Amino acid sequence: MTQELAPTLRDQSAAHSAGWWRDAVIYQVYVRSFADSDGDGIGDLRGIRRRLPYLAELGVDAVWLTPFYASPQADGGYDVADYRAVDPLFGDLSDADDLVREAHRLGLRIIVDIVPNHTSDQHAWFRAALAGGEERALYHFRPGRGTDGELPPNDWESVFGGPAWTRTEAGDWYLHLFASEQPDLDWNHPKVREEFDSILRFWLDLGVDGFRIDVAHGMVKAEGLPDIGLSEQAKLIGAQVLPFFDQDGVHEIHRSWRTLLDSYEGERIGVAEAWAPSSERLALYVRPDELHQAFNFQFLTCDWDATAMRRVIDGSLAATASVGAPTTWVLSNHDVVRHTTRYGGGEQGLRRARAAALLTLALPGSAYVYQGEELGLPEVQDLPDTVRQDPAFFRGDGQDGMRDGCRVPMPWSGTEAPYGFGPGGSWLPQPESWGRLSVAAQSGDPRSTLELYRSALALRKELPGLGDGEMEWLATPEGVLSFGRPGLVCTLNTLATEAELPVPGRPVLSSAALEFSGAAVRIPGETCVWWAV
């Protein structure tokens, strides 16, 4: 590893003087599935570095990397054994350093995942805890209930299904809100807080521009670990406050991290993956002295319905405006069914996905793009059970266990798998139809989804009314949404049939072809248009 630390991005432009993150478009890379440099069928850091020019050309501002730390990979790297080491699957520390440097050279920022709610069961702390060491105090060990302690300490369920407790050989139990290989840390212990401060500093010193905080709502549990009294608890996440999620105590942790981030030059940021039961609760994570952004899952889970979309947009903007923070907009990620499929699949799903992309990129605030959505990739729904690796798939009664379908490796070029993903195969099989969806196949085709994204991201930088700022709803017929930004109008027809409207300005981008008749325009069903005014 080189001795000189990777430079950070500073003073890139006056436009970012109010915070580059307030209007950034951030591209999520699922490390295992983006690009493979060594032919083992698994994506790695060198593969990502080689593909950074593609992301720079696409027009994004930053890249968020899923975990690449040393891990037994029980949950795709979200079970971390060593937070300061790169897993050999993905390279080594010098590869991480090279990636950050190359990204900065291309004008891209790098955000890395941090996993503070739990460690791997192979972490040195947990191995020592099982051996009876003082590290037991760093986790939630409890005696069981029942005559001989044979029952779990409470009725909490794992997000992945089954009890949130596993019994040890010593007879007591430890808490794991996810897989049994992911024991939860006890954030009441000062050593846990000190260790994560040190981990954050390690990566900030290497030059990363921020952190996406996994389960940012989960580190603090209600005192006494009370029973919930309900089953199917995974379905309650994001619908109500639970004793293991969205407890008020998490905000003290995030305030301390904000102070740490602010002590570094270059506007380093924290992004909360926080499931909260309301936009108002979510806004607490982005108060001026806490984190910079929080994922807007209310928008991600919204149905394809004009009334519902407007309600979520209004609620999201109002909540974040109340604390002076930008809203984030996200349609897909590595944990949910790709929105092309959620919106109906096939041609209809793609039409809606293209329209939703233009809607998302026109809204005030910051936007996230999950790898492959710019290609219109659908969910892969026919993966054989033998290749699935989602831990929830093997447990049942929790998440649906089908997250592998959105993690199938990217198609880059060619007509046969692995479509330029790497010199070998791919850890999950790619569909035969993906050759026509590859980056190479779509590049230069003005009708392709890739070129739609490239055009939208270029216009987002060129048009001063896009990005951070205000919007105003305009009068429209039922099923149509239209709002104004300075110098721009965005119109979305959610209906399956065309809508005829007065022409509001000069069309600059549309997700489908328009028809004009005098001063009127016929907007096809499930289409979004940007107008310069």
CB 461 within 8 A of CB 448: no
76-111: burial string, b at 16+ Cβ within 10 Å, e else: bbbbbbbbeebbebbbeeebbbbbbbbbbeeebbbb
Give the DSSP per-residue string, 172-189: -EEE-SS-TTSPBB-TTS
Q: How far apart are CA 359 and CA 304, in angstroms?
A: 12
Active site residue 273: yes
Question: Token match 């850091």: residue?
Answer: 45
Q: Which of 87, 102, 113, 214 is catalytic?
A: 214
CA angle 427, 409, 404 (to 5 degrees): 70
> What is the 3-class SS of 59-119, one letter each residue?
CCCEEEECCCEECCCCCCCCCCCEEEEECCCCCCHHHHHHHHHHHHHCCCEEEEEECCCEC
8-state DSSP, 6: P
Q: CB–CB of 357/373 below 8 Å?
A: yes
Rg (CA), the chain: 23
- C-beta of residue 116 within 8 angstroms of C-beta of residue 184: no
Give the bridge partners for 145, in sequence order: 151
Other CB atoms within 10 Å distance of the CB of residue 27: 26
**Rounded Cα gap, residues 367 and 330, in angstroms:** 6
> Any catalytic annotation for residue 385?
no
Cis status of the peptide bond prior to 288, with omega within 30 of 0: no
Cβ atoms within 10 A of the Cβ of 508, count? 15
How far is it, in rounded angstroms, from Cα 144 to Cα 253?
29
In angstroms, the CA 432 to CA 411 distance is: 11
DSSP result, 473-511: E----TTEEEEEETTEEEEEE-SSS-EEEE--SEEEEES
d(CA 426, CA 238): 34
Q: Give ∠ CA 88-217-242 in degrees, rounded to 5.
A: 125
CB proximity list for 462: less than 8 A, separation 6 or greater: none
Query: Among 273, 379, 390, 404, which one carries the catalytic annotation?
Result: 273
Task: Count the neighbouring beta carbons within 10 Å of the beta carbon of residue 303.
Answer: 12
Active centre residues (catalytic): 214, 273
